[in-house]
Structure 1
Amino acid sequence: MNICTFLENSARDYPDNIAIVYREQRVDYRTLSMLVNSLAGTLTGHGVKKGDRVILLLENSIHYAAWYFAVLRVGGVVVALNTDTTVKEVEYVLSSCQPKGVITNKACCQYLPENNNVDFRIIAVEGLDTLDQSIAVCPIIEVDEGDDLAQIIYTSGTTGKPKGVMLTHLNLSSNTESIVEYLRLTSDDKIMVVLPFFYSYGNSLLLTHIMAGGTLIISHQFVFLNKVLEMMINEKATGFAGVPSSYAMLLHKSNIRGLKFPHLRYMTCAGGALSPANIIELKKILPCVDYYAMYGQTEATARLLYLEPDQWMERLGSAGKAIPGVELRVMAKDGQDVRIGEIGEIVACGLNIMKGYWGDPEATREVLKDDGLHTGDLARIDEDGYIFIAGRQSDMIKAGAFRIHPQEIEDVIIEMPEVVECAVAGIPDEIMGEKVKAFVVLQADLCLDEKDILRYCKKNLPEYKVPKVVEFVDSLPRTTSGKIKRYALKEENSKHEYRNTK
């Protein structure tokens, strides 16, 4: 099944439902389907055929969604890029995936290299005046759903050069169906979208709500938190999706405590673990709203684990169990399942697991093995099968004979009411190899010093996990998907150390 069928089914079943709210514009499913057909005709005119890659360099909007489904309709492969980019980064992707064409807007044209070697470039214009109803129906191209690509998502590159994750129509449809099932999404749901569609979490919001016949409420104003909250109330949003930094900002920099959200049914968090302290605070503010902790990877299309809302207190800190259709193991280095409470690597199997990395068979072989996708994420499992994420293998701090997971330390520091965010990383140490350093963001107008942090850590952590250094920073470096760039913290520390030696 071609993923574009999701849209066609909703246009048939819910033609008058509003599909997307964007600025002053509202488009229903009937009109969105017609717009997609019109744009598909344009792509056919440019010679786009099955398997051709087409780059989308667009912000979230009605036209992003329309071009996305238009590319799929003609059998093309969507390659959506971050609009906060550089010429060099776009050049890298152009060289990597050799696209047939690029669809962008006036603001992003500056990022296209002069010699881009693409057959066409389309400057998208917002509004429905581009809708050409005279174009004949452009048929949905049939695909081999388990083999034909629908999308290539370039990873945000927390550890190096981005890799192109190849996702088939089956990968996307299976993961979308699972998410719709466990979130119990219907055509009555309206999701507040502040996450970019080019990112796998944002992409899942687009697909799940189009499949369900629901509404996507798009905002680019998350820096103006109270405006987003006001929009949620006015548009009667039933859902909100964010990464941990989204919730930290809502809790510490918005008026969320003074507002009522009578229509809000659920909130989801992925892209990293929300600290137990922040979960507890969120539930105090919104006790009647279901909170879903989730975990996944781009290589798994989006989602692998979720925690049922009624388990958040009993399993505080857990990412839950496997989503429908996915099998998970927590595996020791010898390939055997770990014992309860021990740390191992999450290995996943399911129809949502990527086909591989575009043009990189060696990197593909490193993670896709006979027993499944080796995620590189460490976790433990309890007696009831619930999984608790410990962190990335690459993030582990090696201090002498000790192996320390940063998240455990971060969760303790974030309990302090003065702290907004915290990241922990290992920095070089002549004796131990590495030592623990905490980078801490404080609430505005509140003060703590290093001794306060260390005193609290000593009360709540074993001595070898207590940070040896604390640095107060204004913000933490993050990828566009909201994940902390620990390597950037290490690099900045090294530069700081070097400057101090001169």
Structure 2
Amino acid sequence: MFTTDLIHSFLFQSARSYPEKTALVQGTERVSYRELARRAERVTQWLLRHNVQPGDRVAILTEQASEYAAAYFGILAAGGIVIGLNTQTSNHALSTVLTDSGSSIVLSHKKFQKYSSIINDQDSVLRYETDIRSLWENGERFDPRTLPRINPEDIGQIIYTSGTTGTPKGVMLRHRNLVVNTQSIISYLGLTEHDKVMAVLPFFYSYGNSLLLTHIAVGGTLIVNWSFLYPNLILDQMVAEGVTGFSGVPSSFAILLHRTAVKKYTFPKLRYLTQAGAAMSPTLAVDLSAVFSDAKIFIMYGQTEASARLSFLMPDRIVDKAGSIGKAIPGVTLEICRPDGTTAEADEVGEIVASGENIMAGYWHNAEESANVLKNGKLWTGDLARVDHDGFIFIESRKSDMIKSGAHKIAPKEIEEAIMQCRGIHEVAVVGHEDTILGEKIVAFIVFKENYTISKKEVLKHCRRNLPLFKTPHEIILLDELPKTSTGKIKKTELKK
């Protein structure tokens, strides 16, 4: 087990222990730990030469995994705060994050130079935009005497939420937050230097960030493919590289099960799957366990505000506790609370409240929003849940997702799970839409599996058999795809429009 209290030490410690071992694979590029550490050191030296001070925000914009990782650890070693930028961006989105964070430098891949005018015209403290790769190809040799003193309580990273429910907020994470969460994940997954993970989630996303940190910390290998356009190629790569783990969001697994030839493959070295990012329906979980019968499946729950992870369901409980997010990870305490802060009874719905060293410092320059979710050192997650008599937690809904129809408050999750049990369903999302009589009517957006044609009447008939009348959708809309963020989360605010 690694021992460090600073995030960037993960890389440099693994580079000392496993210098020639492959750290990252992406396309034809294979980068060793020794080389990745060298690149990160060159980034650090360049930043220090350009007067980056502890606490300065430095942004990263690239689709190249080795560039991102070198910049990430290099920024941290220089005392900077990492701002990972979404590569599926726009002029407005880019300007918003850079201006809000006050980033002084953008390290980017040359492909993103098309945004140069936006980056340099913004009203901020931005001083430089430079091509990451040039920093280690033409940069100065590293001088460790120039390194600043960094405290574990210093902010190491600001991750902007994906914005499924509104304007993205900058989540401030200390070195300590990320270190303890990384250590906990390594512990319950049993990760070692022998592990190779198929990383399909971008590193600028909280879940992808945790994959980067956990595997670099143990000296493992990240097999990176951030394109899901050709999922069969990802399956080929999993076999060829002998991956031991695959991490995805529910939509990742739905695509593998319904839109690939996954049942024709065998994965002799695959030992675990992890799922997080959104709730996975019990139907999808059961289907997944049938296809990957030799792999342990970890259903996980977390938030960016918690440095990624809060709970997990042990693989041997996936059937008898179907739909549960399990129990708190090591080092975290989870409670189900009423609005007044008192603890809810078993099977009583309340809000998940989390405490532990992984909880964020707050939202960047947003004291009001911080105070709304951080109370007495605890994180009020906004997720409504119940705990059964065995201590297993079951999420009912996000507070913001609740549909108020007539006299009823309805959680979309129950309706979504019922619809997923209908044959031929690939994905579903349920939202409330303004209605003059009911207040909100229930609208279900459905994507069918390939080569399936089912009528809306058949879906409604299925709902009436499996749901109370007041929870039956008032309208069904068929789509080819659900709108999602780049990290696979469904954009329910877009569906509501």
Q: TM (normalized to structure 2)?
A: 0.96
Shift in Å at residue 481 of structure 1?
2.2
Match of 2:143 among 130, 136, 142: 136
Determine whether 1:82 maps to 2:86.
yes
What is the deviation of 1:17? Answer: 1.6
State whether residues 348 and 375 of structure 1, in contact with CA within 8 Å, keep that contact through their aligned partners in structure 2: yes
Q: State the AA in 2 paired with 1:53.
A: R
User: Following the alignment from structure 1 to structure 2, what is the Cα–Cα distance between the partners of residues 140 and 226?
Assistant: 45
Alpha-carbon distance in 2 for matches of 1:475, 1:25: 32
Cα deviation 1:417-463 (Å, max 9, x = unaligned): 31100000111222221121111001222111111011111111111
Q: What residue number does 2:487 align with?
A: 481
In structure 2, relative to structure 1, the CA distance for the partners of 1:466 and 1:182 (3 Å cut) is: same
Secondary structure of the corresponding residue to residue 89 of structure 1: helix
Q: 1:141 to 1:3 in 2, by over 3 A?
A: farther
Listed as ranges, the matches of 1:460-475 within 5 Å are: 460-475=466-481
The equivalent of 1:302 in structure 2 is 308
Matching residue of 1:497: none
Partner SS for 2:208: helix
Tell me the residue number matched to 2:210. 204
Specify every segment of 5 or more residues in structure 1 that has no aligned partner in the other structure, as ranges: 492-502
Q: Which amino acid aligns with 2:317?
A: Q
Counterpart in 1 of 2:133?
125
Aligned pairs for 1:102-501 (under 5 A) are: 102-112=106-116, 113=118, 114-116=120-122, 117-125=125-133, 130=137, 134-137=141-144, 140-146=147-153, 148-370=154-376, 372-491=378-497
Q: CA deviation at 1:314?
A: 1.2
The code of the aligned residue for 2:152 comes to E
Q: Is 1:221–1:227's contact at 8 Å kept on the other side of the alignment?
A: no
In the other structure, the counterpart of 1:35 is 39
- Cα distance in 1 for partners of 2:195, 2:147 equals 27
Would the aligned equivalents of 1:41 and 1:138 in 2 still touch at CA under 8 Å?
Answer: no
Q: Residues 145 and 247 (structure 1 numbering): CA distance in 2 closer, same or farther, change over 3 Å?
A: same
The one-letter code sitting in structure 1 at the alignment partner of 2:493 is Y
Task: Label 1:132 to 1:81 Cα distance change in 2 as closer, same or farther (>3 A).
Answer: closer
Q: CA RMSD in A?
A: 1.5
Q: Distance in 1 between matches of 2:356 and 2:214?
A: 18
Instruction: Output one character per residue of 1:59-83: Cα deviation in whole Å (capped at 9) or x when no partner.
Output: 1411110110000011110000101
Q: Displacement of 1:406 after TM fit?
A: 0.5
- Deviation (angstroms), 1:99: 1.3
What whole-Å deviation, never above 9, does each CA across 1:448-498 have from its counterpart, x for those lacking one?
11110111111111111111111111111112222211111111xxxxxxx
Comparing 14-23 and 61-70, the one that deviates more: 14-23
Q: Partner letter of residue 25 of structure 2? A: V
Partners in 1 of 2:92 and 2:473 — Cα distance?
37
Report the CA distance between 1:140 and its aligned residue: 5.0
In 2, the alpha carbon distance for the partners of 1:100 and 1:399 equals 48
Question: Which deviates more, 11-20 or 223-232?
Answer: 11-20
Cα deviation per residue 1:190-225 (whole Å; 9 max; x = unaligned)? 000110000000000000000011001111332100
Distance in 2 of aligned mates of 1:134 and 1:458 = 69
Candidates 77, 93, 96, aligned match of 1:92: 96
Equivalent residues, number: 489
Report sequence identity in percent: 46
- 2:53 matches 1:49: yes
Which shows bigger deviation, 71-80 or 92-101? 92-101
Q: State the one-letter code of the partner of 2:334.
A: L
Give the gaps of 5 or more residues in structure 2.
none
Q: What SS does the aligned partner of 2:279 have? A: coil
Task: After TM superposition, give the deviation of residue 131 of structure 1 in Å.
Answer: 7.0
How far 1:141 sits from its partner (Å)? 3.5
